[in-house]
Amino acid sequence: MLQLSNDLSFDTADGVETGNSGDMAALNLSRLIAAAADAIADHAEALTALDQAIGDGDHGLNMKRGFEAVRGEAEAFSAKPLPEALKAIGTKLVMTVGGASGPLFGTFFMALGKEISAEPDRVNLTTAFGKAIDAVAARGKSQPGQKTMLDVLYPVHQALTQGKIASEIADVADNAAEATIPMRALRGRASFLGDRSIGHMDAGARSTALLVRTVAETIGERT
């Protein structure tokens, strides 16, 4: 089971299970994929609008295409062990999202699948999440503070390390995306604008925050 808080988990099996504590809410991967695809689809136009301001103007459409492709194979992905499912999702995103986002989001999921165990606890999840972020940073030759998805991923990892619960992690992600607005872009198409990139939220940071919140809200919280 994949545990995002001390009380919550989900796995790739169908149905709801109860852990030893009686408080674990197990969620099948198909449901999580559907929720992520819905979140991206619902915000596709807004994501594209963000990208039109300082990027290529296609982020929302590209992300929607990729996550719809993942949705289309949700049943097959859910039948796999968690590490293999995540790697397969990453591969599908690389193949279908396009642009710069496909390789970056795909790298995240593939690296996460490589590092995570089939039944991870919070420690394993946090470690695997950190390794996945590092893989994205290496792929994009970027670091925090450069107005990219990393400016959301690193704070989320820190929140995991600190033991924050799902709703707190979602808030951290949203706030981190907002924090990219005053940044000057140093990577990607937006970097060509120099100071004109200041005052706009990074589209990749926003879509990353959407996905983090979706995971948190779909799993839910038990206190």
Q: What CATH number is given to the structural domain containing 176?
A: 1.25.40.340
Contact 64, 39 (CB under 8 A): no
Residue numbers in the chain where pLDDT is lower than 70: 1-27, 54, 184, 186-197, 220-223
Q: What is the pTM of this model?
A: 0.84
Cα distances (Å, whole numbers) of residue 60 to 57, 70, 99: 8, 15, 11
First to last CA, the chain: 19
- Write the pLDDT tens digit of every residue in 144-197: 888 899 999 999 999 999 999 999 999 999 999 999 998 867 666 666 555 666
Domain of 171, in residue numbers:
2-219
Q: What is the pLDDT of residue 15?
A: 37
**How many structural domains is the chain composed of?**
1
Q: What is the DSSP string of 25-45?
A: ----HHHHHHHHHHHHHHTHH
Residue 128: Cβ-neighbour burial (10 angstroms; 0-12, 13-18, 19+)? buried
CA angle (155 as vertex; 149, 158 as ends), nearest 5: 140
d(CA 198, CA 184): 5
